[in-house]
Chain A
């Protein structure tokens, strides 16, 4: 059981959700937007967080939308990982979804929850960093649109009360060649030691990483090296190790040295493979 009391709200519109959030914030009730609930429930049960209220966004149409509109794919924040993988609309995003938690949990975990939660890996961000995705927030001042690469800096940057409403992805990226590799310490289903997502755009590969540092990232400097095809895959992979923007994580899953060793080998293997694309 969850040993604390919190209030539960299920709004029908984004405006209702945001107004409720602002009111509860003013009442010092520490509200949280609630998608699939996996993280909020498990952390509340363990006493790691103490929300005074949760605002369930699963009946807000804008947060549940999942369709192609004009030249883009629109995914609501409350769309589940299972829906994303089953749809096959954006295969790279679906492949990443498939590697987060297990299938049953994927039936509950939402895109917004993975991007905005406390767990640092936020693996769904990688394909969005690579595909020039746009993110739509709804806040007290209405809709705010931003490039995902600007809005996601270590974590989602949101103004007080803002709700992550939708992600928009240009259709040109949906069917691009891609690669995704996730390395775990032991189990197939686990948080990543490191995951690498790669998307081919026109003539070059774009690459994003999760689990390597404290936050997922994409680095143009790294991509520049990786796309220098006159160098051997191993040469390029060795150069990349020097360009990791930040300290590689070191924890019980693997030391920073082990993660960097794995990065080099995995990238070299990946590049061997993508030379044929």
Chain B
């Protein structure tokens, strides 16, 4: 059984394909560890209550809100942050092409949801896409552009087009 009872402990996380060490408390949140210990500030603190989605990262392929994950829980799982996309995701290009952001604060969270959708459900229909996108909030209301960007990526799926 894995036990973590000390005040602080060294853990190793698989983040963006690299093994990274962090000294954490058992109650430390993954969001805080990513930002404060690894300098990966793409995941943004917003509501810190799992509502807004600005802290979304991808864990084992699926989107999760890193403000609602303990850092210690992430041991043994693969973590992907927006920095890990490194401009390689078609979703990033689509966001630029469709002007799918204004202030940009929510963008990394949206990108991670969209990237995960593209990876896990590239045959998603409109209803499913809407379901996924509803996990995030954009206070500048770029929803229409974000949706168009995501649609354009899904249409690249040979099955869809």
A residues with a Cβ closer than 8 A to B are 1-2, 4-12, 16, 20, 36-38, 41-42, 44-45, 54, 56, 58-59, 82, 98, 101-105, 107-108, 188-189
Contact = CB atoms under 8 A, between A and B. Distances in A.
Contacts of B56: 104
Interface in B37-95: 48-50, 53, 56, 62-65, 67-70, 72-73
B103 to A, nearest CB: 21
Contacts, number: 92
Contacts of B5: 7-8
Contacts of A11: 1
Contacts of A1: 27-29, 32
A9 B49 contact: no
Contacts of B32: 1
A37 B69 contact: yes
A54 B27 CA distance: 10
Nearest to B134: A102
A146 to B, nearest CB: 27
A65 B160 CA distance: 33
14 contacts: A1-B32, A2-B27, A8-B3, A8-B5, A9-B3, A10-B1, A42-B49, A42-B50, A44-B27, A58-B73, A102-B134, A104-B65, A104-B113, A104-B135
The secondary structure that dominates the B interface is mixed
B131 A98 contact: yes
Interface of B: 1-5, 7, 25-29, 32, 48-50, 53, 56, 62-65, 67-70, 72-73, 113, 131-132, 134-136
B1 A12 contact: yes
Given A1-B32, A16-B1, A42-B49, A8 B26 contact: yes
A103 B3 contact: no
Nearest to B136: A104
Given A5-B26, A56-B73, A107 B63 contact: yes
Given A5-B7, A98-B131, A108-B64, A41 B29 contact: yes
Contacts of B68: 36-38, 41-42, 105, 108
B56 to A, nearest CB: 6
Contacts of B2: 8-10, 59
A4 B70 CA distance: 13
Contacts of A107: 62-64
Contacts of A37: 68-70, 73
Contact of A7 (B4, B132, B135): B4
